[in-house]
Structure 1
């Protein structure tokens, strides 16, 4: 059984649907390749994932003797966090609800 090293970012203000695009991009990649791909990706979630991968790498090196060159992004997923409920004024005295979504992002690295 291989050991997984994880990092979690909770309640970050990005919609889960937008963050999942970046999660799908890095899943299954070696860590060095994933960081290079995130550096050139023009998405708001890219720096978040980059920092999260670096945090998971730091967790791996602090808990065990791990070769960083052999680390792979085993799992990357985004769950829905809290919604901030706001209101937007509309015509004729009405208001519509706006849900500002947040995400929980989880990265798990494994050594291959």
Structure 2
């Protein structure tokens, strides 16, 4: 049974004092997430492997000359992560580098393609969630 018993006053519990006096550690990394991107995670991972570990400016240059479609999405996500770091945590954009980036599988859209003799085959249109972390 949850809550107070019948005809009893509810008991108010206090948080421990040590929790409210915790020292905040400075934030060293910021992330940006793009969800439900209509590109296969396998293809996005190939682009992310190119920029992992590089500083932000060098990563932008690499993406600018990369001819894959995923490079456009990852480039916008990198710009968003840098903007988040500058706005939310007052970090300097020139000091940032790509500390981690990964593409997780999102939901798959299932479609059908007509084939010979009245049959049909399934087409899986894959999506992904891309996460990119930048650090000082």
TM-score by length of 2: 0.79
- What residue is the counterpart of 1:93 in the other structure? 118
Offset, 1:65: 2.1
RMSD between superposed Cα atoms in Å: 1.1
Higher-Rg member (1/2): 2
Instruction: Tell me what 2:63 maps to.
Output: 38
Number of positions where the alignment pairs a residue of Structure 1 with one of Structure 2: 111
Aligned equivalents of 1:61, 1:75: Cα separation in 2: 18
Shift of 1:100: 0.3
Q: Which runs of 4+ in 1 moved over 3 A?
A: none
DSSP 3-state at the match of 1:85: strand
Which one has the bigger strand percentage? 1
**TM-fit CA distance, 1:4:** 1.4
Q: Which protein has greater RCO, CA pairs closer than 8 Å, 6+ apart?
A: 1
> What's the TM-score, normalizing by structure 1?
0.95
User: For structure 1, which runs of at least 5 residues remain unmatched after alignment?
Assistant: none
